[in-house]
A and B are shown apart, each in its own frame.
Chain A
Amino acid sequence: MSDTSKVSKAEAEVAHQNTVAPSDDPTAAPVSVVDPRLLVREEGLKGYVTEFKRKIKGGELGSLPVFIGLIIIWTIFQTQNSRFLSADNLSNISYFMSATGMLAIGLVFVLLLGEIDLSVGSVSGLASTVFAVFVVNHGVNAWLALFLTVLTGAVIGAMQGWFFARIGVPAFVVTLAGFLGWNGLMLWLLGTSGTINIPAESGPVHLLGQSSFFMDQAVIGAYVLAGLGVASMLVGSFIDQRRRRAAGVPFRPTSEILLRVGALAVASFTAAAVLNNASGVSNALVIFLASLVIVDFVLRRTTYGRKIFAVGGGIEAARRAGISVSMVRITVFAISGGFAAVGGMFFAGQTASATLNAGGGNTLMLAIAAAVIGGTSLFGGRGNVWSALLGMLVIQSIQTGLDLLNMNTSIQYMITGAVLLGAVVIDSVSRKSQKAAGRA
C-alpha cells in the first residue's frame, strides 16, 4: 500500500516538474533537479535518510549486510586475538583474497544469468597444474604458458557453456560433472609426485607471489593507486553531470558527487595507509582491483554487458530483442572459466607450486559465498562485480581470523557452510520483500 502512494507522489512530482519546464519549447524534456530514479527524494541529508529507509523496507539491502557483517566479524576476531586488526594481518587478507576473488568475478557473470558454475574451483586447480606442466615439464616461456593456461580455462568454460546453451543440460549438472572431471584431470597431470614446484622467479609466478609489491614497496605507490581511483571517479562524475545537464536529463547534484567521492577517498587512503604500514600493496591485489574496474565497465557500459543483464532478467524478452541467448551463455561460461584459470595462477603464485590441494576444499564455496554476500543475486539479473570485492573481504576475514585462532579445518568448513547459507538466505528473503514492494 505504501508503495503505491509513493509512486503517485512521484507522479505528482513529475507533474510539478512539467509545469516548471520552459513553455517556449514544447519538445524540451522537463529538467528536474532531483533525479527521479530515486522515486521520492527530498534534497539534502533528510532525503538520503528517507530514501535509505524506503530501500531497507523494500528489501533493497544492497551492500548493507556486507558492511554490518564485516563490522561484526572484525569485532569478534579482534576481541579474540588482538593481532587481527594489525597492519600485517590486514595486508595478508588483502593479498590472499585476490585469488579466490578472481574466481568470484567469473561467478558474478554466471550468477547474473541466474545460473551457477560449480566447476570454478576445479578449473583453477587444473589451471595451476597446466601452467606448471607447461613451464616445468616442457620449458615453455612463462608468459606464453600463462596465456595458454587462461585460454585452457576459457575453452573449458565455453565447452560447459555449450552443453548448457545448445544441448540444454542444466548448468549445475554440467558444471558438477566438470567439478569432478577437471579435478580428476588435474590429479592425472600431477601424477604420482603430487606436487610440481615452479621456479619462483618465473614471470607471472613472481608477479603474483607474496613478495611482489606495487612500485617495489615505494610508500608513494599505495597513495598513487588511491589517488588514481579517487581522481577518475571525481572526473568521471563531473563529466557525466555536465553531459546530463546539457542534455536536459536529471543529474546528480554536486553535493552528492562530492559526498560519494569523499567516501571513496576516505576508504581508499585509509586502506593505502594501513597497507603501507605493513609492506605495501601486493601486485596480486592491484591486478584484482584492475580486473574489477575493467569488468565493471564491461558489464555496465557495453552492449555485451547489457545483453548479460537482459538474459538474466528475461530470456524471452532478450531473444525477441534480437539477442543471441546461447552466444551470451557460452561466452559467459567461457569468461567464468577464464577467470577461474587466472585465479589458479594466483594460487600457483601463493605457493610457487602446483599442488593436489589447489582449488580444492572449500575454494568453490568461498567464491560463490563471496559473490552472493557482496550482493549479486542467485536468481539472476541483479548485482555488480564489486560484490566480488566486498564479499571476499568478508570471506577472507573469516578465513584469516580462523587461521589466527588455530581453528581446525572441521570448524572452518562448518563456518564456511553456515556463512554461505546465511548469504543465500539474505538474498532469498530480500528478493521476497522486493517482490512484495514491487521491485523485483
Chain B
Amino acid sequence: MVHVSATPVLALRGVSKRFGAVQALTDVELEVHPGEVVALVGDNGAGKSTLVKTIAGVHPIDEGVIEWDGQPVSINKPHDAQGLGVATVYQDLALCDNLDVVGNLYLGRELLHRGVIDEVTMEQKARELLSTLSIRIPSVRIPIASLSGGQRQVVAIARALIGDPKVVILDEPTAALGVEQTAQVLDLVERLRERDLGVILISHNMADVKAVADTVAVLRLGKNNGSFSVKDTSHEEIIAAITGATDNAVTRRAGRRNTEAAK
C-alpha cells in the first residue's frame, strides 16, 4: 500500500483558464500527495496539456488557487514552478542530440569548479543518479543521438530529477515507446514514487495507468469528470468518464427513476 500524507504537496482549487473565447479549464481541482502517482487522463482537447502548463508556469491561471504544501502560491513563469520544485518532462523530449548524457542532465545547471565546468563531479553525480534509478545506458559519455527512444526518455526523466524536485510531471512518457522501453519507463515512475515524489502522469494508455497510478483524475471538456482510486475502479468506468459515455439516455432515465423513487 502506498503511504499518502494528509497535506497534498500540490493542490489546485477551482482553477480556470481562458484563451480568448475558449474556456480551456473550468473550476478544476487536483491534488498530488508525496509518494503518489496521479494519472491525468482525458480525450484530446480535454485540457490535460493546459492544466499541466499552468502548473509548469507556461500559462498563468486566470482564476483559482494553486497550493504548495498547503500554502497558496502564484506560478506565473516556468522559473517560478522550477523554484518551487516542479519538474516537467515534455512529450517531445527536450534533449540536445549532440551533447552527451552528462551534458544533457546538467544543461543549464552546470556544476562549476573555480568558474570552470566541473566535468568530473558532474559525471560522478550523473552515474550515481542513474545507478540509484537503475537506469541502464551504455555510457554517460555518449551523445544522446546514440541512445534508443526508451533510453532517451529515461534520461529526460532523470534530467528532471537533477534539480531535486518534489513534483514531477510526465507528459505521455510512453507514447512513442516499444514494449520493453515502456516497461523501463514505468519501472522508473515507480522508483520516483519510492523516493516520495509526487508524480503527475499524463497518458492515453489505460494499461499503463492501471499499472503504476494510485489515483486517476479524469478531465472532460476542461472540467473534472471524476477522480478514482485505481484499485477499486474498473477499466470501463475510467473510459466511460473520459468519453462521457455515462451520460446517455439510459443513465438519464435511470437517474430520473431514482430521484422519483426517492420522492
Residues in A lying within 8 Å of B, measured CB to CB: 7, 10-11, 14, 27, 29-30, 35-37, 39, 240, 243-244, 247-250, 300-303, 306, 309-310, 312-314, 316-318, 320-323, 380-382, 434, 438-440
Q: Indicate if the CB atoms of A303 and B97 lie closer than 8 Å.
A: no
Alpha-carbon gap, A310 to B116, bound state (A): 17
Q: Indicate if the CB atoms of B127 and A29 lie closer than 8 Å.
A: yes
Q: Indicate if the CB atoms of A314 and B94 lie closer than 8 Å.
A: yes
Point out the residue from A244, A313, A322 that lies within 8 Å of B120, measured CB to CB: A244
Supposing A27-B128, A247-B120 touch, asked if A314 and B92 sit within 8 A by C-beta, the answer is no
Point out the residue from B90, B116, B132 that lies within 8 Å of A301, measured CB to CB: B116
Query: Which residues of B lie under 8 Å from residue A29 when comparing CB positions?
Result: 124, 127-128, 131
- Of the four ranges (under 10, 10 to 19, 20 to 34, 35 or more), the interface on chain B belongs to 35 or more
Residues in B lying within 8 Å of A, measured CB to CB: 79, 90, 92-100, 103-104, 107-110, 112, 115-117, 120-121, 123-124, 127-128, 131-132, 136, 138-143, 145-146
Q: Indicate if the CB atoms of A302 and B96 lie closer than 8 Å.
A: no
Q: Indicate if the CB atoms of A306 and B124 lie closer than 8 Å.
A: no
Query: Which residues of A lie under 8 Å from residue B115 when comparing CB positions?
Result: 302
Alpha-carbon gap, A321 to B108, bound state (A): 5
Shortest C-beta distance, B80 to chain A (Å), equals 13
Alpha-carbon gap, A319 to B64, bound state (A): 29
Supposing A7-B138, A37-B141 touch, asked if A318 and B120 sit within 8 A by C-beta, the answer is no
Supposing A27-B128, A247-B120, A302-B116 touch, asked if A10 and B145 sit within 8 A by C-beta, the answer is no
Supposing A14-B139, A440-B145 touch, asked if A309 and B117 sit within 8 A by C-beta, the answer is no
Q: Indicate if the CB atoms of A249 and B99 lie closer than 8 Å.
A: no
Q: Which residue of B lies closest to A112 (CB)?
A: B98
Shortest C-beta distance, A306 to chain B (Å), equals 6
Alpha-carbon gap, A109 to B33, bound state (A): 47
Q: Indicate if the CB atoms of B96 and A248 lie closer than 8 Å.
A: no
Point out the residue from B97, B117, B124 that lies within 8 Å of A313, measured CB to CB: B97
Q: Indicate if the CB atoms of A382 and B138 lie closer than 8 Å.
A: no
Q: Indicate if the CB atoms of B95 and A39 lie closer than 8 Å.
A: no
Query: Which residues of B lie under 8 Å from residue A380 when comparing CB positions?
Result: 98
Q: Indicate if the CB atoms of A316 and B94 lie closer than 8 Å.
A: yes
Point out the residue from A11, A301, A320, A382 that lies within 8 Å of B117, measured CB to CB: A301
Query: Which residues of B lie under 8 Å from residue A434 when comparing CB positions?
Result: 145
Shortest C-beta distance, A416 to chain B (Å), equals 29
Q: Indicate if the CB atoms of B138 and A313 lie closer than 8 Å.
A: no
Alpha-carbon gap, A39 to B120, bound state (A): 19
Other A-B pairs beyond A317-B96, A318-B107, 9, CB < 8 Å: A10-B138, A11-B138, A30-B131, A247-B121, A248-B124, A250-B141, A306-B107, A313-B97, A322-B108
Instruction: With a 10 A CB-CB cut-off, give which of A250, A320, A380 has the most chain B CB atoms.
Output: A320
Query: Which residues of B lie under 8 Å from residue A322 when comparing CB positions?
Result: 79, 108
Shortest C-beta distance, B144 to chain A (Å), equals 8
Supposing A37-B141, A39-B138, A301-B116 touch, asked if A381 and B131 sit within 8 A by C-beta, the answer is no
Query: Which residues of A lie under 8 Å from residue B128 when comparing CB positions?
Result: 27, 29
Shortest C-beta distance, A1 to chain B (Å), equals 14
Alpha-carbon gap, A440 to B99, bound state (A): 10
Shortest C-beta distance, A96 to chain B (Å), equals 33
Supposing A29-B127, A306-B110 touch, asked if A14 and B138 sit within 8 A by C-beta, the answer is yes
Query: Which residues of B lie under 8 Å from residue A323 when comparing CB positions?
Result: 107-108
Shortest C-beta distance, A294 to chain B (Å), equals 13
Point out the residue from A250, A302, A381, A438 that lies within 8 Å of B146, measured CB to CB: A438
Query: Which residues of B lie under 8 Å from residue A243 when comparing CB positions?
Result: 120
Alpha-carbon gap, A272 to B93, bound state (A): 49
Shortest C-beta distance, B120 to chain A (Å), equals 5
Alpha-carbon gap, A320 to B77, bound state (A): 12
Alpha-carbon gap, A306 to B109, bound state (A): 11
Point out the residue from A30, A39, A240, A312 that lies within 8 Å of B142, measured CB to CB: A39
Query: Which residues of B lie under 8 Å from residue A439 when comparing CB positions?
Result: 143, 145-146
Q: Which residue of B lies closest to A35 (CB)?
A: B141
Supposing A303-B117, A323-B108 touch, asked if A314 and B141 sit within 8 A by C-beta, the answer is no
Q: Indicate if the CB atoms of B142 and A310 lie closer than 8 Å.
A: no
Shortest C-beta distance, A44 to chain B (Å), equals 20
Q: Indicate if the CB atoms of A302 and B117 lie closer than 8 Å.
A: yes
Alpha-carbon gap, A131 to B77, bound state (A): 47
Supposing A29-B127, A314-B95, A438-B145 touch, asked if A303 and B90 sit within 8 A by C-beta, the answer is no
Q: Which residue of B lies closest to A28 (CB)?
A: B128
Alpha-carbon gap, A316 to B123, bound state (A): 24
Shortest C-beta distance, B145 to chain A (Å), equals 5
Instruction: With a 10 A CB-CB cut-off, give which of A240, A248, A317, A438 has the most chain B CB atoms.
Output: A317
10 contacts between A and B (CB under 8 A): A7-B138, A30-B131, A301-B117, A310-B107, A316-B92, A316-B94, A317-B93, A318-B108, A321-B109, A381-B98
Shortest C-beta distance, B109 to chain A (Å), equals 8
Q: Which residue of B lies closest to A21 (CB)?
A: B131
Alpha-carbon gap, A339 to B203, bound state (A): 50
Shortest C-beta distance, A356 to chain B (Å), equals 41
Q: Which residue of A lies closest to B110 (CB)?
A: A303
Query: Which residues of B lie under 8 Å from residue A37 when comparing CB positions?
Result: 100, 139, 141-142
Alpha-carbon gap, A127 to B99, bound state (A): 36
Query: Which residues of B lie under 8 Å from residue A39 when comparing CB positions?
Result: 138-139, 142, 146
Shortest C-beta distance, B151 to chain A (Å), equals 9
Q: Indicate if the CB atoms of A317 and B141 lie closer than 8 Å.
A: no
Point out the residue from B90, B97, B98, B139 that lies within 8 Å of A320, measured CB to CB: B90
Shortest C-beta distance, B254 to chain A (Å), equals 48
Shortest C-beta distance, B85 to chain A (Å), equals 15
Query: Which residues of A lie under 8 Å from residue B136 when comparing CB positions?
Result: 11, 14
Q: Indicate if the CB atoms of A309 and B141 lie closer than 8 Å.
A: no
Shortest C-beta distance, A17 to chain B (Å), equals 11
